[in-house]
Amino acid sequence: MNLASSSRRGKQARRSDMETMRERFAKLLLGEDMSGGEKGVTSALALSNAITNLADSMFGDQVKLQPMDLKRKKIWRKEMDWLLSVVDHIVQFVPSTQVAKTGDFTEIMVTKKRDDLLINIPALRKLDSVLLETLDKFKDHKDFWYVPKDVENTENNGDWRKDEKCWLPVVKVPSDGLTEESRKFLRSQKESVAQVLKAATAINALVLSEMHIPDNYIDSLPKKGKTSLGDFLYKSITDEYFDPGYFLSSLDLSSKHKVLDLKNRIEASMVIWKRKMNHKEQWGSFVSLEKRELFEVRVETILAMLKQKVPEIIQSSLEISKIKNNKDVGHAILESYSRVLESLASKIMTRIDGVLEADVLVHIQLMEEAERRSESDAEPEYEKNEKVVSAVTPNSTKLADLIGWSFSSDTEHSLTSDVELVHEAEQEKDIMKSPFRIQPMKLSYLAKLEKLRSPSERH
């Protein structure tokens, strides 16, 4: 009875999967236009959009370091297998030999999976598995947890995440921070994901470089690379002494839009310079071939460093134009698959950095509290000395108290003045005895007469 019901459920599940797969491929064949009209896109773009939309629906809600839901993971792997099955039919002809029954060798052409797909598809599947396994490793973590954003805003220590997206939960760590074992684990997972990100980025950049540049993009470019870059960027890149790190540090990259604008300008200038190198008759008379090649290497270096510095950068105008006008299904699959894995790896790295940042902030708070506690406990040295002196002689007795004299405040002030006068007289005696004392000025006869003259008031 149970076997029959389980087999019935299995048949229903397979039938449901077949219906879903037919719907997916019908949409791909119609170019996402289910009406069958002329609004459909190419098969390559439809397949690229299908992989992108599937990844968004599966990983769009992955805002925590936790395993992926089993049902969603199953759907992701199953539908990716459907979409990647197209690769098995993208082949190329290669020469081969065939042995006849008579023993004769005949040269024939046989089909073989395309080289780039044969190498990169298994590599991307491996990267996909590594990322999902990384999320699975956070199943039993207890050293950090998440709280909703609105709950965090009501607490005193929730101000440090006010600049983040409002729908992201806030990561919390224990009051004494993470354990050393947890820190090592997080750092090792971050390094592993960083390697995945590096590999996915390299595959994506290679595929995009092999795509044809559309004519409509070329027509929209200015005639000179200097016009695309602007005076400041052009002077910086074409300067005799060029440092790409210093160049990027001198620019304002505070927002994604500014980074995207810089990327668009540099890619446009690179396309212009490459076209001029391929059409020598269109060169200007001021720039040599060696300098063109040097400038091209510089802008490629800047783009690579910019991609590493801002991994979540938006697609540029050149990349969007290439993807939209691409007709190679193999390139479309490789580009979209590597791009979604690159996005997922970058998201996981950001979540790990969030946990490590929360741990650092907790340690900073602990250090500040320890400093405040030490400052409140430790008193200044002079206060301690005063307390010691007052403890030794709490009621010091004066000579006048022993004799029995009593003075008022005025009398004490006059006594103090008399003592000061005696002290000043002794200082004057010392000055008179000193060999360097000032001699009195001798007056001349006329000066004496002038001094004896009567004042003007008496006349």
**pLDDT reported for residue 223:** 85
C-alpha span between 266 and 263 (Å, rounded): 5
pTM: 0.74
C-alpha span between 339 and 330 (Å, rounded): 14
**pLDDT reported for residue 158:** 44
The alpha carbon of 27 is separated from its chain's Cα centroid by a whole number of angstroms, namely 38
Beta pairing class for 105-113 and 145-147 = unpaired
**pLDDT reported for residue 191:** 95
C-alpha span between 127 and 53 (Å, rounded): 19
Residue 227 to residues 137, 223, 298, Cα–Cα distance (Å): 51, 8, 17
pLDDT at 1 over 60: no
Report percent pLDDT > 70 for the chain.
Answer: 73
pLDDT at 193 over 90: yes
φ/ψ (deg, to 5) at 386: -65, -40
pLDDT at 125 over 60: yes
